[in-house]
Amino acid sequence: ESAHALAILEKIRFHPEDHIVICLSGRGDKDLDTYMRAMTNLGI
């Protein structure tokens, strides 16, 4: 489940130089809007 991969990120300690890649499944036309809102809310 893609949501589990995203949820666990808050619990893992990463180094500043780490890169994280997560493959998300679903319909891109709907997912992109959700992603953009989340990034805006995070100030990214």
Q: What is the pLDDT of residue 19?
A: 95
Q: 19 in helix, strand or coil? A: coil
Distances (CA, A) of 18 to 12, 13, 35: 12, 10, 21
Residue-range definition of the domain harbouring residue 9: 2-41
Q: State pLDDT tens for residues 1-44.
A: 778 888 898 899 999 999 988 887 777 777 788 888 999 999 98
Q: What is the count of structural domains for the chain? A: 1
CA atoms of 19 and 40, how far apart (whole Å): 20
Question: What pLDDT score does 13 carry?
Answer: 94
